[in-house]
Amino acid sequence: MHKPDFKEARTMDKRQYITKKFSLNKKYQNYFQGKTYFLKTYGCQMNEHDSENIEAILKALGFQKEDDYEKADLILLNTCSIRENAHNKAFGMLGRCKHLKEKRPDLMVGLCGCMAQEETVVASILENFSWLNFVVGTHNFNEIPALLVKSLEEGLQVEVYSREKDLVEGMPTERQNPFKAYVNIIYGCDKFCTYCIVPYTRGRQRSRKKEDILEEIQKLLEDGYKEITLLGQNVNAYGKDLYENYSFGELLEDVAQLNVPRIRFVTSHPWDFTDHMIEVIATHQNIMPSIHLPVQSGSNRILKLMGRRYTKESYLELVQKLKAKIPHLALSTDIIVGFPTETEEDFQETMDIVEQCQYDNAFTFIYSIRHGTPAEKIKEQVPLEIKEERLQRLNEKVNFYFLKNNQALVGKTLKVLTEGKSLKQQDAYFGYTETNKLVNFTGENIQLGDFVDVEITEAKTWSLDGQRK
Ligand code: SAH
Ligand code: SF4
Ligand code: F3S
């Protein structure tokens, strides 16, 4: 048994890692033929993409997908630790699994993802949910087949490594979208923002080799994918751990030259955004003018306590530069309210930066204490009622700008990648603009996966309506 240990995860020992090829031991192939699985994913795109790998592994084991968890032979939770409510959801689901297990002792249940990396979670599972089959961490979900099979004989298997293991290439992938694909470029995060648990659950920063990334994208293009999203907790840090003279800007350029119709990337940290990257984004038509640039707070005092390493002024300067260089840029962000010691004045600075940036989209959160992070130790926590009230005021403001920005698009013709048929209206479709805005539109002779020119007829806060031109 390997249990997680945050102390070990925190130490930034610069270990050399090697790249390994994934292979499924022949003895596990179709081992579970005729059985079904239900996989529930919580959290960010990183987890969604891990789930695409996990589903492919389960299929290779012979499992088939089941949408109703009450009918599945295996229930697997790919969990998220980012805020307390993510925890609560996963534990709620484990509670439901417990009832099912009482009725169906053959039910197999596993937990993987970020929560598996937390000492307190694993301790609670050993105490309260010891009937689980396995708990496996983010660094070794490729070991699920062996652990699941072993658990059938020996009961609960806990295999969680606190430090990242070697990079595994060549994982099979069961992609959820036939037109849009996620491609990991960098794993982990070295930023250690004081509120955030990700560096502990995902390990230190490790870039994939550029050849491996470009080869994966080339294959996706051959398979007809139209949009590639380069993934990382901090994509701008790409290459720093691997190359002297090859960074995210160079990678973006190389990906653009493969003639990918649409390239996106998440998430960019304001700290690592270089002029070269801006230049590359501005000069390539196939790099989408849509940037997610989490600001977290507008108060310099709070930004410092958060360990974000930029100021309100330097963030605004970067935004000005981006808006000046990249025509029609859509800017989105993440904001936390109620970080320990946040005053009304600090919060007003956040409201002010929202007014100045006029974001196209924003994910707003109430600060949630994460066990083991430095911010946990700051004594002056903001009371929940104040946090909730600030969140409400913030949401009103961000929503105002979402609608305002969308209204400015009425009458314009935008290129939309058609993704599906509208559930509400016959002959209607939905898709996304270059700036990643959802459009519901009507038109004839449209195939899913087509790029179509759509004239925008109506603006809503979170979507647009339109008609094919
Ligand atoms: N790597 C990305 C974001 C990772 S997590 C970045 O640095 O920008 C996504 C978002 O969750 C963060 O941007 C932050 O706004 C929010 N978040 C992270 N930890 C949180 C916490 N303890 N409480 C509330 N929100 C948090
Ligand atoms: Fe968390 Fe900060 Fe890393 Fe983002 S950059 S994942 S907020 S530590
Ligand atoms: Fe959650 Fe882990 Fe992503 S904590 S946000 S699933 S990296």
pLDDT digit string (tens) for 242-300?
Answer: 999 999 999 999 999 999 999 999 999 999 899 999 999 999 999 999 999 999 999 99
**What pLDDT shows up at residue 90?**
97
What domain range includes position 110?
6-166
Which of 52, 82, 231 for mutating ligand 3's site (highest number of atoms within 8 Å of CB)?
82
- Do 138 and 284 share a domain, yes or no? no
Sequence-distant (6+) residues with CB within 8 A of 37 are 55, 58, 63, 64, 65, 66, 72, 73, 74, 75, 76
Which atom of ligand 1 approaches the CA of 193 most closely? 7
**Mean pLDDT for the chain overall:** 95
Listed residues 134, 166, 198: the one ending a domain = 166
Domains identified in the chain, total number: 3
**What pLDDT shows up at residue 16?**
66
Which atom of ligand 3 approaches the CA of 114 most closely? 2
Please tell me if the CB atom of residue 81 comes closer than 6 angstroms to any atom of ligand 3: yes
Please tell me if the CB atom of residue 82 comes closer than 6 angstroms to any atom of ligand 3: yes
- Reported as a pLDDT band with limits 50, 70 and 90, residue 4 is confident
**What pLDDT shows up at residue 13?**
58
Q: From the CA of 89, which ligand is nearest?
A: 3
What are the residue ranges of helices labelled H in 223-308?
248-257, 275-283, 300-306
- Do 177 and 203 share a domain, yes or no? yes
Task: Assess whether pLDDT exceeds 70 at residue 14.
Answer: no
- Do 182 and 240 share a domain, yes or no? yes
Mean pLDDT of 78-84: 97
Listed residues 110, 132, 166: the one ending a domain = 166
**What pLDDT shows up at residue 177?**
96
The residue whose CA has the least distance to atom 11 of ligand 1 is 82
Residue in this structure with the two tokens 């904001």, named with its chain if needed: 335
Pairing of strands 108-113, 330-337: unpaired
Task: Assess whether pLDDT exceeds 60 at residue 12.
Answer: no
Mean pLDDT of 353-357: 98
Q: How far is the centre of ligand 2, averaged over its atoms, from the C-alpha of 193 (Å)?
A: 5
Q: From the CA of 201, which ligand is nearest?
A: 3
Top-confidence residue, 425 or 409: 409
Peptide bond before 435: cis, by omega within 30 degrees of 0? no
